[in-house]
Amino acid sequence: MDNELRTQPHGIHDVEIQEWLESLDSVLESSGPEVAAEILERLRAHATVNGIDLPFSANTPYANTIPVRLEPLFPGDQELERRIKSLIRWNALAMVVRANRVEHNIGGHISTYASAATLYEVGFNHFFRARSEEFEGDTVYFQGHASPGIYARAYLEGRISAQKLENFRRELKPGGGLSSYPHPWLMPDFWEFPTVSMGLSPLMAIYQARFNRYLEDRGMKPVTDAKVWAFLGDGETDEPESLGAITLASREKLDNLIFVVNCNLQRLDGPVRGNGQIIQELESAFRGAGWNVIKVLWGSEWDPILERDTEGLLVKRMGELVDGEYQKLVVSSGAYVREHFFGSDPRLLQLVEPMSDESLRRLRLGGHDPRKVYAAYKAAVEQKGKPTVILARTIKGYGLGEAGEGKNVTHQQKKLNEDELREFRSRFGIPLNDEDCIEVPFYRPAEDSVEIQYLRARRDALGGYVPTRSIRSKPIVADHDELFKEFHEGSEGREVSTTMAFVQMLRKMLKDPEIGKLIVPIVPDEARTFGMESLFRTVGIYSSIGQKYEPVDVNTLLYYKEAKDGQILEEGITEAGSMASFIAAGSAYATHGINTIPFFIYYSMFGFQRIGDFIWAAADMRTRGFMLGGTAGRTTLSGEGLQHQDGNSHVLALPVPNVKAYDPAFAFELAVIIQDGIRRMYEDGESIFYYLTVMNEPYAMPAMPGDVKEGILKGMYRFRRAANGKSKLRAQLFGSGAILNEALRAQEILETKYGVAADVWSVTSYKELYNDGNETERWNRLHPSEKPRVPYVSRCLADAPGVLVAASDYVKTLPNMISKWMPRRLASLGTDGFGRSEGRTSLRDFFEVDSRFITVATLHELLIEGKIERSVLDKAIKDLGVNTDKPNPVIS
Ligand SMILES: Cc1ncc(C[n+]2csc(CCOP(=O)(O)OP(=O)(O)O)c2C)c(N)n1
Ligand SMILES: [Mg+2]
């Protein structure tokens, strides 16, 4: 080839480039990669000093990161592993095709697993270590849509029956079925992590890896080399959560974390970056964040071609195509590849001249080549000091041929015609004849076949089967009566908020001999807001590197103490990250066999509303622990206004089935709920977790009025009876949280000014009451011949006379949803509408939930009942200074 005749755009001769490359090669050969890297670094510095403006790029060429010469030997039987993988491919496809034949549109995904099969199989055969008594095991987040492949493997492993496979996506069939995606709630012995709401699992995996270090640094588990693997889609990386915490992983040097991004360049509708290169984009993002990035782009068939390309033209060409073009190549013939890819330069054409069109078409991508994938995984597990991301190029719908390989429709492909099935069968060598194969039967070779024996032997060597979810923690034993007792006694007139009471409880729990070590306080930069700064000093803020500086407030009592064995997870301003820590800590009873008890306290408005989907995932995962919505209540949080004042979260907690949501008013209520919660979750092992709103309004905490524990837990109890039970005018007032005090004030006003005797109830949980009412109704409906049961609300109010008025700091729908089980109509006051920047008194006037409005509502109910004259109400409105022309808070 006549190099001298060719020139590059800036007029340099190729031969000059060639000389530079050759001298680098010779350095590489004689002195190794470190010296070569040093020279390049010096060159770069020299260039900068001499005014050469090198553009910043975090990218490396569009080539495999691990060169062939550094590839380790593949330790397995490649042919046998290919056969096993083919069987899994077949069964994964069969379960989706069969399910959709039986029930049209039942759904399922073939093409995601088809693209990821090699990525998983190399992991299963060589890397993923199971959990056992001796070793904590690796933690694997499987890409949700790849679940058919994971089930199909478990079928070959003999862990899932053919009947279950048959009932994929039909979980309610006799004998049970398989859930569409990984859901620990539905398959608690199998799946560990819900991953299908895309973007959540990468973030959860990062915090899981960090939590593993936290447990080690606090001496709660041995230091191991266990890894956290997260498999994600390239399209999934567009979710902000996916990459949102990657700098935490590098900052914390999480070399126990490995991301594998299945870069099939496609998402659901089409290409992830038709006009760009998702792999290069991800590489620069991860490298920029300090991760070790391993690109696995090209399979072994490319190696000899690359070797022939001494001028680096092929790698350059590889970097020129946008993803849309690459996708086109996947669905095209070898002749097309020759013309459109290699045809851009006669020298490239020459490189592949001896190769047939068919062999060009069959040039595999890196993510489909076990040797390349193995090399990447091995490098990843051996990486020290950084997390690793593997960017593996694959083809979506690999092996589906005309039925969808590389096509834009492939994500939704669920049915194959007879020809397509036969082709798939032949391509992967499934021993089924033409007739049998169109029935798409599941296929499992005999137990003593080499395939099954090999597969079992590999899993034995890796300690057992993955995924497996099991609970390895032992129940805690103490009753903690002593710990919580003091809070039953009230504050003796001292004004404290429920938040302060909670922090006091937390301080005591942290000192408890049994549970003290297990407590994991989690805050997203709000500890001072909640008066928790004293804990900084006493239990320390976790930092994997201790404290390298003298804190500015070192001379104060409550200085900012970071420590390697610190207990508080101070996450900074990330509710999502804090929630991921909550999930890691709250599921450690299963993942690690350790009963850590997370207390995650945050601004209540930034919880259910902002990170609701993480809460849903926590619920699915059977996470345990306490979420505390601090600064709660639309009118109790003064000053902050529209964004911060929360009147919603108790409604948003309703749909999460296993969340126990409470809005306690007093310290003793909080103590009763937390003590019982610890018992239910950590002694009885219930799959529930708690949402408690705590407020910052200080008031004297009363003593517990007798044994009302049951009522507190069930959702309501009578806190204070009317003084004059004989009065003709009667009312029942229901208050929650800080608004209970307004109800108590109203009780007084009603009694002294209007002769109305009112009982006051503390409603600690509308959600509990609602669930109880519904459950009772349902039971009665389904058991008509038995004695009807009575909802708890109805039982409470059976003999309670008078009109009914409820007030809370949340929207009115909460009391309204239980009113049908009340003996008479209910008047509901609540805080529907946008908050305002104002003080408490004005806010409660604005939202019409203060004692005056409760009084007016009560008198109005009495008027409706014909118990009082209208003039009484008119006068009350005037006397109480209620502005009847004020704006409606709901719409203003
Ligand atoms: C939060 C969220 N949004 C949307 C979806 C619906 N969805 C499921 S798979 C998919 C495309 C996935 O593409 P990619 O991440 O590239 O994975 P691939 O199947 O290509 O491996 C979409 C949009 C979802 N599951 N979760
Ligand atoms: Mg994709």
**Residue 408 near residue 279, CB atoms below 8 Å:** no
Cis amide prior to 467 (ω within 30 degrees): yes
Give the position of tokens 């076990």: 370
* Cα distance between residue 506 and residue 518, in whole Å: 12
C-alpha of 556 from chain center: 38
Please determine, for residue 322, whether its predicted confidence score (pLDDT) is greater than 70: yes
Mean pLDDT of the chain: 96
137 SS3 class: coil
Ligand 2 centroid to 174 CA: how many Å? 35
Query: How many C-beta atoms surround the C-beta of residue 564 within 10 A?
Result: 16
- Identity at 492, one-letter amino acid code: E
**Residue 256 near residue 224, CB atoms below 8 Å:** no
* Cα distance between residue 866 and residue 862, in whole Å: 6
Q: With bands split at pLDDT 50, 70 and 90, how would you rate the model's confidence at 50?
A: confident
Query: What average pLDDT score do residues 191-218 get?
Result: 98
Going through 250-291 in order, the beta strands assigned E by DSSP cover: 257-263
Q: Which of 267, 323, 611, 613 to mutate to test the pocket of ligand 1 (most atoms within 8 A of CB)?
A: 267
* Cα distance between residue 580 and residue 377, in whole Å: 25
pLDDT digits (tens, 9 = 90+) for 819-850: 999 999 999 999 999 999 999 999 999 999 99
Q: Which of 111, 198, 201, 203 to mutate to test the pocket of ligand 1 (most atoms within 8 A of CB)?
A: 198
Ligand 1 centroid to 267 CA: how many Å? 6
Residue with CA nearest ligand 1 atom 12: 267
Looking at residue 789, the DSSP 8-state letter turns out to be: P
The residues, any chain, with a CB within 8 Å of residue 233's CB and separated by 6 or more, are 112, 143, 145, 198, 261, 262, 264, 267
pLDDT at 889: 97
Ligand 2 centroid to 264 CA: how many Å? 5
- Residue 202 buriedness (CB in 10 A; 0-12 / 13-18 / 19+): buried
376 SS3 class: helix
**CA dihedral over 807, 808, 810, 815, signed as positive or negative:** negative
Q: Supply 842's token pair.
A: 């004005």
pLDDT at 51: 86
Residue with CA nearest ligand 1 atom 20: 267
Determine the atom of ligand 1 nearest the C-alpha atom of 109: 19
Q: Is 197 in the pocket of ligand 1 (CB under 6 A)?
A: yes
Q: Is 235 in the pocket of ligand 1 (CB under 6 A)?
A: yes
**Residue 99 near residue 127, CB atoms below 8 Å:** no
Name the nearest CA neighbour of 431 among 415, 414, 451.
451
Q: Is 233 in the pocket of ligand 1 (CB under 6 A)?
A: yes
Ligand 2 centroid to 408 CA: how many Å? 11
Name the nearest CA neighbour of 632 among 665, 680, 610.
665
Ligand 1 centroid to 62 CA: how many Å? 25
- Residue 393 buriedness (CB in 10 A; 0-12 / 13-18 / 19+): buried
Determine the atom of ligand 1 nearest the C-alpha atom of 196: 25
* Cα distance between residue 856 and residue 878, in whole Å: 10
C-alpha of 117 from chain center: 24
Residue with CA nearest ligand 1 atom 23: 268
Give the position of tokens 């993510």: 367
Q: Looking at the DSSP assignment, which residues form a beta bridge with residue 729? A: 756
Ligand 2 centroid to 212 CA: how many Å? 29
Name the nearest CA neighbour of 368 among 331, 402, 337, 395.
395
Distances (CA, A) of 76 to 121, 302, 450, 733: 11, 22, 14, 73
**Residue 217 near residue 565, CB atoms below 8 Å:** yes
Q: Is 623 in the pocket of ligand 1 (CB under 6 A)?
A: no
* Cα distance between residue 552 and residue 200, in whole Å: 36
Query: What average pLDDT score do residues 212-219 get?
Result: 98
Q: With bands split at pLDDT 50, 70 and 90, how would you rate the model's confidence at 11?
A: low
Name the nearest CA neighbour of 211 among 598, 711, 608.
598
pLDDT at 8: 59
Give the position of tokens 């809370």: 808
Query: How many C-beta atoms surround the C-beta of residue 637 within 10 A?
Result: 26
Name the nearest CA neighbour of 532 among 495, 512, 551, 505.
505
> What is the longest distance spanned by two Cα atoms in the chain?
113
DSSP string for residues in 673-732: HHHHHHIIIIIS--S-EEEEE-----EEPPPP-SS-HHHHHHTEEEEE--S-TT-SEEEE
Ligand 1 centroid to 268 CA: how many Å? 6
Strand order in the sheet with 803-807: 716-720, 756-763, 729-735, 803-807, 826-829
Q: 497: part of which helix (H) or strand (E)?
A: none
Ligand 2 centroid to 149 CA: how many Å? 16
Ligand 2 centroid to 151 CA: how many Å? 20
Ligand 2 centroid to 695 CA: how many Å? 45
Ligand 2 centroid to 411 CA: how many Å? 9
Q: Is 266 in the pocket of ligand 1 (CB under 6 A)?
A: yes
End-to-end C-alpha distance for the chain, whole angstroms: 79
pLDDT digits (tens, 9 = 90+) for 582-635: 999 999 999 999 999 999 999 999 999 999 999 999 999 999 999 999 999 999
Q: Is 364 in the pocket of ligand 1 (CB under 6 A)?
A: no
Residue with CA nearest ligand 1 atom 3: 198
pLDDT digits (tens, 9 = 90+) for 428-472: 999 999 999 999 999 999 999 999 999 999 999 999 999 999 999
Strands 292-296 and 541-542: unpaired
* Cα distance between residue 249 and residue 630, in whole Å: 28
pLDDT digits (tens, 9 = 90+) for 682-705: 999 999 999 999 999 999 999 999
- Identity at 379, one-letter amino acid code: A
* Cα distance between residue 134 and residue 464, in whole Å: 12
C-alpha of 479 from chain center: 32
* Cα distance between residue 252 and residue 248, in whole Å: 6
Q: To the nearest whole percent, how much of the chain has pLDDT over 70?
A: 99
* Cα distance between residue 805 and residue 861, in whole Å: 8
Q: Which residue blocks in 799-888 are alpha helix, DSSP H?
A: 813-816, 840-846, 851-864, 870-879
* Cα distance between residue 262 and residue 278, in whole Å: 11
Q: Supply 796's token pair.
A: 């409470």
pLDDT at 17: 85
Q: Is 198 in the pocket of ligand 1 (CB under 6 A)?
A: yes
pLDDT digits (tens, 9 = 90+) for 800-821: 999 999 999 999 999 999 999 9
Q: Is 268 in the pocket of ligand 1 (CB under 6 A)?
A: yes
Strands 699-700 and 495-496: antiparallel
Query: What average pLDDT score do residues 92-121 get?
Result: 95
291 SS3 class: coil
Q: Supply 591's token pair.
A: 């993942």
- Identity at 270, one-letter amino acid code: G
pLDDT at 1: 40
pLDDT at 3: 43
Q: Supply 355's token pair.
A: 């190769």
Q: Is 396 in the pocket of ligand 1 (CB under 6 A)?
A: yes
Q: Is 313 in the pocket of ligand 1 (CB under 6 A)?
A: no
pLDDT at 2: 43
Query: How many C-beta atoms surround the C-beta of residue 426 within 10 A?
Result: 12
Residue with CA nearest ligand 1 atom 4: 198
Name the nearest CA neighbour of 294 among 582, 27, 67.
67
**Residue 603 near residue 644, CB atoms below 8 Å:** yes
**CA dihedral over 101, 102, 105, 107, signed as positive or negative:** negative
Residue with CA nearest ligand 1 atom 25: 197
Q: Is 194 in the pocket of ligand 1 (CB under 6 A)?
A: no
DSSP string for residues in 434-450: HHHHTT-------TTSH
* Cα distance between residue 364 and residue 393, in whole Å: 10
Residue with CA nearest ligand 1 atom 16: 235
Q: Supply 194's token pair.
A: 């819900």
For 719-748, give the secondary structure using H, E and C. Answer: EECCCCCCCCEEEEEEECCCHHHHHHHHHH
Name the nearest CA neighbour of 572 among 605, 527, 609.
527
Query: What average pLDDT score do residues 323-341 get?
Result: 96
Ligand 1 centroid to 186 CA: how many Å? 21
Q: With bands split at pLDDT 50, 70 and 90, how would you rate the model's confidence at 130?
A: very high
pLDDT at 7: 54
Name the nearest CA neighbour of 847 among 629, 609, 645.
645
Q: Supply 700's token pair.
A: 């004297």
pLDDT at 559: 93
Q: How many residues does the chain have?
A: 892
Q: With bands split at pLDDT 50, 70 and 90, how would you rate the model's confidence at 4?
A: very low
568 SS3 class: strand
* Cα distance between residue 437 and residue 424, in whole Å: 10
Going through 225-365 in order, the beta strands assigned E by DSSP cover: 228-233, 257-263, 292-296
